[in-house]
């Protein structure tokens, strides 16, 4: 297919596809799907080989968010029966992070619900970052705390944070349909603050909220312009008790096309499969590893993921390998001058962005909240009814009841 050959060549050169080419990827047929995956896989392997970076979420503060993000189980007015708790203490958060690191995670993402942190919150998170770094010097730490005020990104960087996540989520044109308590411009401003502070910026999207192909292409092109080092792709899980509870639009094939389009537009960036992969990709998750070079390990913020061991087995069975702590995630031209992800040299970090310089952890309340199924519940339960193509898979969604904020061992 001429389109795919063109996109592969552009990906090797870090040249942006046209908007029409990106739309054409989303419009390909199921008959052409494997060709699309193979083509985008060439670009993924060119820049990242067969390495898969593992990331681990720690929900520092769950629920009770004043923002009204329609996708989020922690939103204002949410009736989702999620865990609700106030700030974890630094030692509690460090213990939670240790489970992810032991499971192979190279990055720990610290997330807290809310519009944005107070200065006291930044102090609290800074203490947590220091506690984690004392135990795991080489681990990358990404903070995801909502909208940042002036000077807060710099304080997080000084405390040892490597990255900051703040997702755009959807196109600027439709943003007001999803959230009314803050604006798309607010989110862009926070990503730029992270860049300016020398943090590696992490910013992504949520697919499946009823958006059009044009909206998906618009948000991915906007992300390319912002130039984050990490682009998490979340797949909405319609959580009971939220306004989008009835929005079940995604198929495994649709998810793969979205990931392929993202890879073509952002060829040399860490593309991360974030919330919803178990629910929407299901048995086709291994194919997605040919498109994305990063995933979350274990559970999410307010929902449960498949067993961490199953994640590791999937990576190995698909012919990929877990990226080691000493390996640099980003291509040399991005990591140059920053120490590179995983090296943490003085003045370093995980990004590029020249002298100015997602965790896929979501935010305000979290795009990966309400995202994933319980262990053993990913379409494998013996008592489950046979799956019907196109039917909502509400059986794959389970609220997190273990790990941070509970007395039960985490899934990692």
Active-site amino acid positions? 65, 69, 72, 109, 142, 202, 272
Tokens 């060439």 map to which residue? 42
Tokens linked to 58: 């720690």
Backbone angles phi, psi at 142, to 5 degrees: -115, 130
Query: Which residue, 45, 11, 47, 33, is CA-closest to 255?
Result: 33
- Give the separation between CA 47 and CA 232, rounded to whole angstroms: 17
Q: HEC states along 236-298?
A: CCCCCCCCCCCCCCCCHHHHHHHHHHHHHHCCCCEEEECCCHHHHHHHHHHHHCCCCCEEECC
CB 341 within 8 A of CB 200: yes
Listed residue (120, 210, 201, 122) closest to 168, CA to CA = 201
Other Cβ atoms closer than 10 A to 221 = 17
State the Cα–Cα distance between residues 52 and 56, nearest whole angstrom: 13
Per-residue CA distances from 398 to 71, 82, 299 (Å): 16, 10, 10
Based on DSSP, count helices (H) and strands (E) in the chain, helices before strands. Answer: 13, 10
Contact 325, 106 (CB under 8 A): yes
């Amino acid at each position: 297919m001429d389109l795919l050959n063109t996109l592969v060549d552009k990906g090797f050169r870090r040249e942006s596809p046209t908007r029409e080419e990106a739309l054409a990827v989303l419009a390909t047929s199921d008959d052409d799907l494997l060709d699309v995956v193979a083509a985008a896989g060439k670009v993924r392997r060119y820049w990242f080989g067969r390495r898969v970076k593992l990331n681990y979420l720690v929900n520092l503060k769950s629920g009770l968010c004043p923002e009204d993000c329609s996708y989020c189980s922690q939103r204002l007015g949410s009736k989702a029966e999620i865990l609700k708790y106030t700030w974890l203490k630094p030692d509690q958060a460090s213990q939670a992070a240790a489970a992810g690191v032991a499971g192979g995670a190279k990055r720990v993402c610290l997330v807290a619900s809310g519009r944005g942190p107070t200065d006291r919150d930044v102090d609290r998170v800074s203490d947590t970052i220091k506690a984690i770094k004392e135990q795991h010097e080489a681990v990358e730490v990404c903070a995801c705390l909502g909208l940042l005020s002036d000077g807060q990104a710099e304080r997080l960087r000084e405390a040892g944070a490597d990255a900051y996540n703040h997702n755009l989520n959807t196109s600027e044109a439709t943003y007001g349909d999803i959230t009314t308590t803050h604006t798309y411009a607010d989110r862009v401003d926070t990503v730029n603050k992270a860049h300016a502070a020398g943090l590696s910026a992490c910013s992504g999207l949520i697919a499946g909220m009823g958006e059009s192909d044009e909206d998906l292409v618009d948000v991915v092109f906007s992300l390319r312009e912002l130039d984050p080092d990490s682009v998490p792709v979340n797949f909405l899980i319609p959580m009971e008790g939220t306004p989008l509870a009835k929005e079940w639009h995604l198929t495994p094939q649709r998810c793969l096309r979205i990931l392929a389009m993202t890879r073509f537009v952002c060829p040399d960036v860490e593309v991360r499969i974030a919330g919803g992969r178990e629910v929407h990709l299901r048995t086709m998750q291994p194919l997605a590893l040919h498109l994305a070079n990063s995933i979350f390990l274990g559970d999410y913020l307010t929902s449960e993921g498949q067993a961490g061991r199953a994640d590791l087995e999937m990576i190995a069975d698909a012919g990929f390998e877990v990226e080691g702590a000493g390996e640099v995630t980003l291509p040399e031209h991005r990591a140059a001058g920053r120490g590179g992800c995983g090296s943490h040299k003085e003045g370093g970090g995980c990004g590029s962005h020249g002298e100015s310089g997602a965790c896929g952890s979501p935010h305000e309340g979290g795009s990966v909240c309400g995202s994933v199924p319980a262990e053993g519940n990913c379409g494998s339960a013996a008592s489950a009814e046979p799956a019907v193509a196109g039917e909502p898979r509400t059986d794959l969604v389970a609220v997190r009841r273990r790990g941070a904020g509970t007395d039960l061992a985490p899934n990692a």
